[in-house]
Structure 1
Amino acid sequence: MQSHFYKVLAKNLLAATVVGALFLTLQLSSRLTTSETEESAEYPADSTYGNKLISSKNSYECINPYAQPGFIWMETRTTIDNTTWVPFYGGLLDKQFSQLWDTKRVPVDKVVNGTRYFPNSFPPNDLFKNAPTQWFQLLLKYKNAADAASAEEGPGRKAESVKALRELEKKLYWLKNRSLLVVGDSVDGSLVTHLCNSLEAPLEYGSTNASNETSIATCNIKEWKLRITHWQLGCVGHRCRAGETIESIDQKWDRYFIPNSGSVMGQSDPAPDLVIFQLGLWGVNFFGDQQRKYVNGKEIDHSRTLNIRELAVYTRLLRHIISKLRDIYGYHTPILYRTVALKNTEEQDATALTLDSAARYACRELDVEIMDFGWLVRGYYSFYSDDVNIDKGPLSTLWVNMVFWYLFRTQGGVEVRGDLVRTADMDMTTSDAWNMCHDTFMKDLKIRS
């Protein structure tokens, strides 16, 4: 009898232990799940991806907003100052912006003739504050404030204009005596022209060949003694038009660009502070034209992907250009490859896409970072002025903001989630400032490409 009692007691104790262990396991799992959910969804205001920001002079985090998923926000289709790339930080798309009803359960969208529309109430402050600095907007504000200060006659209003001017100077002081070199085609030339014209900085043209496919143009933004130069390489060693003189890239380099290389020096180094280059459209034209002649076609087929031999020729040419830039300005000079903007054609521009993939591979091997402007603006053909060139407007503004984000970085500045957590350090060399985040960004490029 006693033996039976102990057996029953042992069974009950075992059952209770199992139930208790199961209950504790479920509780712990629930807490972990809740903790993980709360931690990933609710970042503090002063954090980046859940990590506390350290804004001391010698600390920084390397996050490129233009390499994050996001979208282009523009105030209007014709605006030239209020356009920005908005990264999707902090899970914001998973929270209040994804709701279809407001707090009163009234749909925030409307249906007209069977089509659903969502009102454009952007920008919500907690999303817009994460966007990178609109440097072009600050430059325009500075120019307008300077014009107002010089025109004001009353002491009170003049003092207000001068005060606004001084506040903008605190944000833009790092531009003083800087130099930017853009090496590419007419797309780059148009973007440089839009920037210079908007700031009333006249372009000066150097003498090159008469075909206009090779050119040199420079503007100086006098308020900052900021020098912006564009070298248009044109047909790199190939005949692109009937009757055109064939000049190899080496001949062009020796005849036009090396004699002008000394005019693009930055303040702290015998080289430009930043070089941005690409030679995509001329490559697309050349390979397309060769294929057209081979098949006796009348038009270039932009939907054709390049073959392995063509890609090998292009990457060899790209390596050659990078080598020439480094021969002039040194390996330490920051260089970016700008991805190619697609042509505005009825056919899909598969040629440019294939070419860009090869360029990513080459840049990865040559330790050159990527400026993904071409990728961000793909599909915005209604903002083009012709079949290849981007018109003055939101996309040209985006280009300026991207360029100045990189230029700010060459001066030691660090921006994280829209906050300037590290100001420019005028005592740093350009190469030291660039290298603070270079390895991190190159590692990201190798993962993504």
Structure 2
Amino acid sequence: MQLLLYGAKALARILLAVIVVGALFLSLQFSRKLSPSKIEDPAKYSANSTDGNKLLSSENSYECINPYAQPGFIWMEARNTTDNTTWVPFYDGLLDQQFSQLWDAKGVPVDKMVDDTRYFPNNVPPNDLLQSSPTQWFQLLRQYKNEVDAISTEKAPDRKKESIRNSQELEKQLYWLQNRSLLVLGDSVDETLVFYLCNLLDASLEYGQTNGSSGTTIATCHIRDLNLTITHWQLGCVGKHCSGNAPETLESIDQKWDEYFIPASRSVVGQNGASPDLVIFQLGLWGEQFFVNQYREYVKAKKIDYSRTLNFRELVVYRRLLGRIISKLRDLYGVRVPILYRTVALKNTLEQDMVALNLDSAARYTCRELDVEIMDFGWLVRGYYSFYSDDVNIGQGPLSALWINMAFWYLFRSQGGVEVRGEVVRMPDRDEATVDFWHMCHGSFMKDLKIRS
């Protein structure tokens, strides 16, 4: 009997060992499947050493993670600078690892946080938090521009050599911006953000011939050092005559599109030779202005009310407006053109901006149904009203730098660049224009959008 007991215990130990080994094996295989392919020197990645089609068809060759869709916070070195501002995403377990020692197992604080001045001010996040944040492409681009300028102005031979060396190293990281084209379709908020981007790189916005009709403008800046083109189309107000009592019509968009944007469409073609490399669009402020004006005329009020909840018919109209723009972009540049909807930032107002919130919800639904990804800039900056230059426009500083870095992150991705948890694991090809890199992660990101919206 005792022998049987010992035998049963031994068998149990063997089975337990087999289960543990099997579990470890499966866990290792699963983690290998999800882990990204490492590139020791991403700057050397070019069309000669990259098989983009293989990457496109290879399942789980890297993780599809959008850092700007993760919970997190905006970290800025100072409120009056455009450098060292980034979105710090909270990846799984990151906060737990950093701050697990502040409380003991019973939840009692180990340190008296409020009384301990070591926690105030909180100057810099921990290194691994910042290392997992998205690449600050704009800061690298400004450094490159400064070094290029120094080459032509510096008289000291040693300093000039140093600037040449620095510019060559930065160019290895920024070559993918060469010959690219970014189209931004929006209102004065977007135009101002584009202006900051170009102005800080010593490029000026040049306006096309639209005679400012109904707020419709075309503005372009060209970063000559990289042959990078950034164009802003402002659709202007909606409605037949752009006034509060005008009947809503989609023909107004058609008219402006045919008259102004189609003739200018070939000037914003990028690396693929058929379309811009990325399109960012929104129709928030003008749409909002139309609805509040319509309601003010209806109730014969003197003051515009932004705190009113829009009714179902108004939301349907707005959905049709957005659908019209998406359709026209795809008709113009093809159904595979990378398109992002930029969420609208709330106004700096004493009233509740319920209209913008309603339009944002309708826009998320529209993007979900029409297979368009979302650039959630408006959501990230809500509440940062002290950084506005007026009641609607964002001033030059940390928030404008965040927008630029976000735009470049999406542009980087559209060209085949892959960044996972702050680490660049694949650089874009120099001359690859046939592989549809945008849609490598598009399905995963749209799935996340459907869950979140």
In structure 1, the residue matched to 2:36 is 53
Matched letter for residue 387 of structure 1: D
Of 308-317 and 234-243, more deviation after overlay is shown by 234-243
In structure 2, the residue matched to 1:236 is 238
SS of the residue corresponding to residue 84 of structure 1 reads: strand
Measure how far apart 1:208 and its partner are: 1.4
Spell out, residue by residue over 1:304-334, the C-alpha distance to the aligned partner (whole angstroms, 9 max, x if none): 2211100100101111111111111111111
In structure 2, the residue matched to 1:379 is 383
Q: Is the contact between residue 214 and residue 237 of structure 2 (CA under 8 Å) also seen in structure 1?
A: no
Question: Structure 1 residues 431, 283: closer, same or farther in 2, change over 3 A?
Answer: farther
Matched letter for residue 281 of structure 1: L
Structure of higher CA gyration radius: 1
Q: Is the contact between residue 269 and residue 430 of structure 1 (CA under 8 Å) also seen in structure 2?
A: no
Q: Is the contact between residue 220 and residue 230 of structure 2 (CA under 8 Å) also seen in structure 1?
A: yes
Q: Is the contact between residue 245 and residue 294 of structure 2 (CA under 8 Å) also seen in structure 1?
A: no
Counting only pairs closer than 5 Å after superposition, residues 114-193 of structure 1 correspond to structure 2 as 118-193=120-195
Spell out, residue by residue over 1:11-52, the C-alpha distance to the aligned partner (whole angstroms, 9 max, x if none): x999x99xx89x99xx99xx99xx9xxx9xxx9xxx999942
CA distance in 2, matches of 1:317, 1:431: 31
Of 235-244 and 419-428, more deviation after overlay is shown by 235-244
Do residues 366 (structure 1) and 370 (structure 2) align? yes
CA distance in 2, matches of 1:445, 1:201: 36
TM-score, length-scaled by structure 2: 0.84
In structure 2, the residue matched to 1:320 is 324
Unaligned residue ranges in structure 1 (runs of 5+): 1-8
User: Would you say how many aligned residue pairs link Structure 1 and Structure 2?
Assistant: 425
Q: Is the contact between residue 151 and residue 163 of structure 2 (CA under 8 Å) also seen in structure 1?
A: yes
Q: Is the contact between residue 271 and residue 433 of structure 2 (CA under 8 Å) also seen in structure 1?
A: no
Correspondence for 1:397 among 394, 401, 406: 401
Of 439-448 and 390-399, more deviation after overlay is shown by 439-448
Unaligned residue ranges in structure 2 (runs of 5+): 40-49, 56-60
Measure how far apart 1:412 and its partner are: 0.6
Q: Is the contact between residue 144 and residue 170 of structure 2 (CA under 8 Å) also seen in structure 1?
A: yes
Question: Structure 1 residues 238, 74: closer, same or farther in 2, change over 3 A?
Answer: farther
Question: Structure 1 residues 48, 226: closer, same or farther in 2, change over 3 A?
Answer: farther
CA distance in 1, matches of 2:362, 2:434: 28
In structure 2, the residue matched to 1:335 is 339
In structure 2, the residue matched to 1:270 is 274
CA distance in 2, matches of 1:121, 1:111: 17
Percent of aligned positions with the same letter in both sequences? 67
Return structure 1 stretches of 4+ with deviation > 6 angstroms: 47-50
SS of the residue corresponding to residue 248 of structure 1 reads: helix
Q: Is the contact between residue 330 and residue 337 of structure 2 (CA under 8 Å) also seen in structure 1?
A: yes
In structure 2, the residue matched to 1:307 is 311
Measure how far apart 1:179 and its partner are: 0.4
In structure 2, the residue matched to 1:290 is 294
Correspondence for 2:90 among 88, 91, 115: 88
CA RMSD of aligned residues (A): 3.5
Higher relative contact order structure (alpha carbons within 8 Å, sequence separation ≥ 6)? 2
In structure 2, the residue matched to 1:226 is 228
Q: Is the contact between residue 383 and residue 390 of structure 1 (CA under 8 Å) also seen in structure 2?
A: yes
CA distance in 1, matches of 2:301, 2:165: 64
Measure how far apart 1:268 and its partner are: 2.4
In structure 2, the residue matched to 1:3 is none
Matched letter for residue 352 of structure 2: Q
Measure how far apart 1:237 and its partner are: 2.4
SS of the residue corresponding to residue 181 of structure 1 reads: strand
Q: Is the contact between residue 305 and residue 354 of structure 1 (CA under 8 Å) also seen in structure 2?
A: yes
Matched letter for residue 395 of structure 1: L
Of 211-220 and 336-345, more deviation after overlay is shown by 211-220
Q: Is the contact between residue 333 and residue 430 of structure 1 (CA under 8 Å) also seen in structure 2?
A: no
Counting only pairs closer than 5 Å after superposition, residues 65-80 of structure 1 correspond to structure 2 as 65-80=67-82
